[in-house]
Structure 1
Amino acid sequence: MTPAARTQAAIDLLDAIVVAAREGGAAADTLISRYFAQRRYAGSKDRRAVRELVYAAIRRLGERPADGRAALLALAASDPALAATFDGSTHGPAPIADEAPAAEGLHPRWLEERLAASGIDAAEQRALIDRAPLDVRLHSDAADLDLPGAEPIAGLPLARRLPAGTDVAALSGRVEVQDAGSQAVTLAAGATPGMTVLDLCAGAGGKSLALAALMGHDGRIIATDVDRARLSRLAPRAAKAGATIIETRLLDPNREADVLAGIQADVVLIDAPCSGTGTWRRNPEARWRLTPARLDRLIATQQHVLALGAAALKPGGALVYIVCSLLDAEGATQVDAFLAAHPGWRAEPPTLPFGRAHHAGTRLTPAHDATDGFFVARLRAPC
């Protein structure tokens, strides 16, 4: 591909990403993979160059642009070499005319304001769209696995930070790709051998697998979720990891209480559906998807799953509430409201290897902890 053709490919992809962000379609990574699967002529250097252009544009634009061309024009405004590729060639974009590039910024203005009100200053906000590192969690039987260039992560014996571009597919069955922050907040459960643990919003089961390792594969983990496709990925992952104590239950939104009936868990872990503001380093286009109305719906869902989790906990048990969000409305405020509505419950400081105290819980941020952003609280039920 010529430089101009690469620029046009980036524009085409950004067009699709903008539409997906507006209409709730596939994530940018998925769209990029599909695009190149249909264009086998593009070599690895072409794919890498186009991908870098796409993500550079996404990270630079806080507000969703009108289209892909406006997004690339914003980059070209400060990059003469990129501007020169708008040359009108056969496979390249039309020359730059009197047209406005998309406005640059960190995040949508309304989100910048809410993040600031939640104590996330400008430097912390900037770090939310830096590139994320590649972290993995070793399976317990692979603790001595030699990984070239891997760095240990303090406080997480099975965590490693790998060099960018490491082929993790070649390590299947020996490691799980999991951000160090996600590994750390799982420790808040305090799970030990013999416990019954309910992973209420398990998804594909990353935290269930980590819990099984913490429990020495002794006890019972009930992993539930309303998303059949995501939950179905847990069983094969558990088999590879030797996590035989995990059972899965699909939650029917119309009869959740029936599915959870009879569970008296020692620990309920709730990795609640949230805005994902703490994961924007990995999915920067997610800033373009979030709206005040969607945030309100997520907050209502979080309140619902907190109530479900509390009902499935035995007296004196611990409820661990986690969101990969840095908005207080989804974290600290939710926990404050829960405690106010449940007399006798109390917050306990989670035992984590890093993070800072924030209201009744602990907050991890990319700038301070070099992890994804999280809020986690550990709540003790009355006996």
Structure 2
Amino acid sequence: MTPAARLSAAIELIETIDAQRVPAAKALKEWGTAHRYAGSGDRAAISGLIWDVLRRRASSAWLMDADTPRARVLGMMRLERGMNTEAIAVLCDGGRFAPEPLSEAERSALTSRTLDGAPPHIAGDYPEWLDAPLAAVFGDDRVAEATAMASRAPLDLRVNTLKAKREKVLASLKHLGARETPWSPIGLRIELGADARNPGIHAEEDFIKGAVEVQDEGSQLAALFSAAKPGEQVIDLCAGAGGKTLALAAMMQGKGRLIATDHDKRQLAPIYERLSRAGVHNADVRAPKGDTDPLADIKASADLVLIDAPCTGTGTWRRNPDAKWRMRPGALEVRLKDQAEVLDRASALVKPGGRIAYVTCSVLRSENGDQVRSFLSRHPEFSIQPLNETASVLWDKAEDFENAALKSAEGWLLTPRRTGTDGFFVSVLKKA
């Protein structure tokens, strides 16, 4: 397919997503099935266009002064891809499989309109109802922070120190453009261009043998801040597919007791194969069975309970831009209730002197600092452990990282703009 044909396909797909109100991933999958002549490069390029349109949905429509699929695609090409009017016009020449030529109004918008004067939620590309919550966290920086959350994320990998050293894996993945992550001492990063296909990391020998796992650098750091140690009893209370469980296992060096569970046993399905591939032998996966508590035998004995809390996922918008436009206020209320319940459950599992590591992939204060303060009011036996005490023993960049993160009395907030990671909040709570 030509670049012009890819652009036409993207416009048609946005029309489908709008008309049928289907998730973008579903629409892309169905399009690929119906257009088997399109090669992998075509599918990757069209996917990139769709995700970029969703990233810049509001600002592109503002730029073009029209909220239509075509207008959003054209505006995105100007704002996200940095193309000028003539370069866009070359693609829209009305030829075979190409979009119709630019109208005079479109040319004028692409040439003369800017985001100057756009409301924050338009310039930052997020739902208007989230403006007040984001302003409460970032103030006048919310547009810059949200814009960074709308950029394309790199592919981050965590080296499994149970099986390999970063230097060795870095050398073997050089052909993919891998380099060391800026902060994590066990991370690798592969930058991805706008039309780039995701590298086939699952086919790499290092992945097959369990030497690396896909994990955002922010998620790696959140696990490191928990300071899990060899010989401890550690519980991953919201383990899901096991990303942080694997990180905890490596930190424990195979020594001690690691328990992974989740309220939804379906979420745990991938964890078994991942633990086996990673060479983890001290993990006990406990799936819920009916109304039986899988942790009924744990009574105030855990050294560490890690809560990768259910949340709105606002910190992961750059990986899932579709989610921010589908998010509704009611979903936030449900998550706040879930978070309070899991924190209260964790409090009974931790022994005196033990700790809870509370982690969200959200940037909203209500899910982060407010939730921590509410927990402390219910459980005065807990106190906040300063994260710099944990971070200082982990790697030699702790001071620089502390200056980069957004700090509050309750914990640290990582964001794409500040730390180059997904948005993560981390708070460590210690039991007296």
Q: Which runs of 5+ in 1 are unaligned?
A: none
Task: Answer whether contact 1:62 1:288 (CA < 8 A) is retained.
Answer: no
Two-structure CA RMSD over aligned residues (Å): 2.9
1:12-91 aligned at under 5 Å gives the runs 12-18=12-18, 26=23, 28-29=24-25, 31-62=27-58, 68-69=69-70, 71-75=72-76, 79=85, 81-82=87-88, 91=97
Q: Specify which structure has the higher proportion of helix.
A: 2
Using the alignment, how far apart are the partners of 1:368 and 1:157 within structure 2?
Answer: 18
The match for 2:225 among 161, 183, 188 is 188
TM-score by structure 2 length? 0.78
Moved more, 296-305 or 49-58: 49-58
Secondary structure in structure 1 of the residue aligned to 2:344: helix
1:173-184 aligned at under 5 Å gives the runs 173-184=210-221
The alpha-carbon deviation at position 19 of structure 1 amounts to: 6.6
2:386 matched to 1:358?
A: no
Task: Answer whether contact 1:85 1:93 (CA < 8 A) is retained.
Answer: yes
2:400 matched to 1:367?
A: no
Where does residue 430 of structure 2 map in the other structure? Answer: 380
2:192 matched to 1:157?
A: no
Using the alignment, how far apart are the partners of 2:336 and 2:406 within structure 1?
Answer: 23
Task: Answer whether contact 1:76 1:83 (CA < 8 A) is retained.
Answer: no
Secondary structure in structure 2 of the residue aligned to 1:320: strand
Structure 1 166/275 Cα, relative in aligned 2: closer, same or farther at 3 Å? Answer: same
Secondary structure in structure 2 of the residue aligned to 1:316: strand
Give the counterpart letter for 1:255 in structure 2: D
Task: Answer whether contact 2:60 2:75 (CA < 8 A) is retained.
Answer: no
Where does residue 131 of structure 1 map in the other structure? Answer: 152
Secondary structure in structure 2 of the residue aligned to 1:211: helix
The alpha-carbon deviation at position 290 of structure 1 amounts to: 1.2
Using the alignment, how far apart are the partners of 1:76 and 1:236 within structure 2?
Answer: 41
Structure 1 329/81 Cα, relative in aligned 2: closer, same or farther at 3 Å? Answer: same
1:329-344 aligned at under 5 Å gives the runs 329-344=366-381
Give the counterpart letter for 2:131 in structure 1: E
Q: Deviations over 1:60-115 (max 9, x none)?
A: 114898764453254478745546656676755567789999x9542112213311
Give the counterpart letter for 1:160 in structure 2: L
Q: How many residues align?
A: 375
Structure 1 274/44 Cα, relative in aligned 2: closer, same or farther at 3 Å? Answer: same
The alpha-carbon deviation at position 233 of structure 1 amounts to: 0.2
Moved more, 296-305 or 159-168: 159-168
The alpha-carbon deviation at position 279 of structure 1 amounts to: 1.0
Task: Answer whether contact 1:273 1:323 (CA < 8 A) is retained.
Answer: yes
Secondary structure in structure 1 of the residue aligned to 2:367: coil
Task: Answer whether contact 2:138 2:145 (CA < 8 A) is retained.
Answer: no
Using the alignment, how far apart are the partners of 1:79 and 1:222 within structure 2?
Answer: 57
The alpha-carbon deviation at position 366 of structure 1 amounts to: 1.1
Where does residue 291 of structure 2 map in the other structure? Answer: 255
Structure 1 108/19 Cα, relative in aligned 2: closer, same or farther at 3 Å? Answer: same
Where does residue 9 of structure 2 map in the other structure? Answer: 9
Q: Deviations over 1:179-205 (max 9, x none)?
A: 111000101221111111111111110
The alpha-carbon deviation at position 228 of structure 1 amounts to: 3.1
Structure 1 236/340 Cα, relative in aligned 2: closer, same or farther at 3 Å? Answer: same
Give the counterpart letter for 2:39 in structure 1: G
Q: Which runs of 5+ in 2 are unaligned?
A: 62-66, 79-83, 110-117, 193-197, 392-397
Task: Answer whether contact 1:320 1:377 (CA < 8 A) is retained.
Answer: yes
Identity of aligned residues (%): 42
Give the counterpart letter for 2:153 in structure 1: A
Q: Deviations over 1:285-319 (max 9, x none)?
A: 22101111111111111111111111222233201
Moved more, 269-278 or 116-125: 116-125
Give the counterpart letter for 1:35 in structure 2: W
